[in-house]
Amino acid sequence: MAKIGGTNKADSTGIRQKEIDKEPWATVFDLIQSEYEGWTDDIILDLTLDRILQVCGAINRRKAKKFKLDLKVKELVTRTICKFVAATAYPAKKGKNIKALIHAADEITFIEDEGPREPKIGSYEKIKDLFSAKRRPK
């Protein structure tokens, strides 16, 4: 059987909501297969729904954590560069106070610290909706 997963990487939470709504199972299979090389459709189809939920949840939590960590590193690098630029600014050579520039550089943030958030692709409700009566043909 052909592998569904491709090289198209998803955003930090796994997958965009529009993609989930169009092809929910294809999205789940792509998410799992892009993360775990060698997992074929047959392997995924042998999993229980609970296990698929666990796998999707673990993937999304790992991706979200990695995304946040990468963003924090970029934030620290940006702050450091901006502090060096502020410290070597032209007004400093004329004896003017540059503490405001350095303070502004220190205030740079890319993300706000927030509590834990459940990714949408791996949520129980999203997968449960796949089997709800509203999606079944009558």
The pLDDT mean for the chain works out to: 75
Write out pLDDT tens, residues 50-80.
Answer: 999 999 999 999 999 999 999 999 999 999 9
For residues 91 and 66, the answer to whether their CB atoms sit within 8 Å is no
Which of 8-17, 35-44, 113-122 is predicted least confidently? 8-17
| Largest interatomic CA distance in the chain | 79
**pLDDT confidence of residue 11:** 53
Write out pLDDT tens, residues 86-114.
Answer: 878 766 556 567 777 788 888 888 877 66
Angle CA(27)–CA(31)–CA(34) in degrees, nearest 5?
Answer: 130
Q: How is residue 42 written in tokens?
A: 């047959």
pTM over 0.85: no
Buried b or exposed e, range 57-70, using 16+ CB within 10 angstroms = bebbbebbeeeeee
